[in-house]
């Protein structure tokens, strides 16, 4: 939410996992993450097959938009996209864990992750993620997931 041009964290909402569009594209997730959310996430369901994901292909994984470490639900289709394993289990995991550490220290953050698509594609090539709190702390990153 904005107060003028200043972002303000509003503590009266939960998680918006966005949508899965008819072509399979995910629209992104926005969540208020509290200390109570840490450790409540679930693994990505094997039943979810996001666009671009091919079973049993090395280097291919189902990645959470709202990280499991921040309470992301792996059974919600809109939260799962195809990612490269080395990115999902590397930089994206480290990023989510760093936010989880901040939240675990008693902070509440607004988290957002938005997949980016090339024209005509339903497989994301990048995920833009970020989080901020009411105290001026913020972090953001872009992950090439293709």
Contacts of 6 (CB under 8 A, 6+ apart): none
- Report yes or no on 6 lying in a domain: no
Region of 71 on the Ramachandran plot (φ > 0 left; ψ -120 to 50 alpha; else beta): left
Summarize pLDDT for 117-146 with one digit per residue, the tens: 999 999 999 999 999 999 999 999 999 998
Provide the number of structural domains found in the chain.
Answer: 1
pTM: 0.90
Calpha distance 132→6 (Å, rounded): 12
**Continuous segment of H or E residues that includes residue 97:** helix 93-104
Summarize pLDDT for 90-118 with one digit per residue, the tens: 999 999 999 999 999 999 999 999 999 99
Calpha distance 102→137 (Å, rounded): 9
- Report yes or no on 81 lying in a domain: yes
- Report yes or no on 106 lying in a domain: yes
Domain region containing 31: 12-144
CATH number for the domain that contains residue 103: 3.40.570.10
């Amino acid at each position: 939410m904005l107060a003028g041009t200043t972002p303000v964290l509003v503590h009266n909402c939960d998680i918006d996992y966005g949508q899965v569009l008819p072509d399979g594209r995910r629209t992104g997730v926005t969540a208020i993450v509290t200390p109570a959310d840490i450790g409540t996430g679930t693994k990505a369901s094997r039943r979810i097959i996001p666009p671009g994901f091919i079973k049993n292909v090395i280097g291919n994984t189902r990645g959470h938009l709202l990280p499991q470490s921040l309470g992301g639900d792996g059974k919600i289709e809109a939260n799962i996209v195809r990612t490269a394993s080395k990115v999902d289990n590397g930089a994206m995991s480290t990023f989510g864990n760093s936010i989880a550490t901040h939240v675990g220290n008693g902070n509440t953050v607004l988290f957002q992750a938005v997949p980016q698509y090339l024209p005509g594609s339903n497989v994301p090539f990048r995920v833009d993620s970020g989080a901020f709190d009411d105290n001026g702390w913020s972090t953001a990153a872009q992950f090439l997931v293709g």
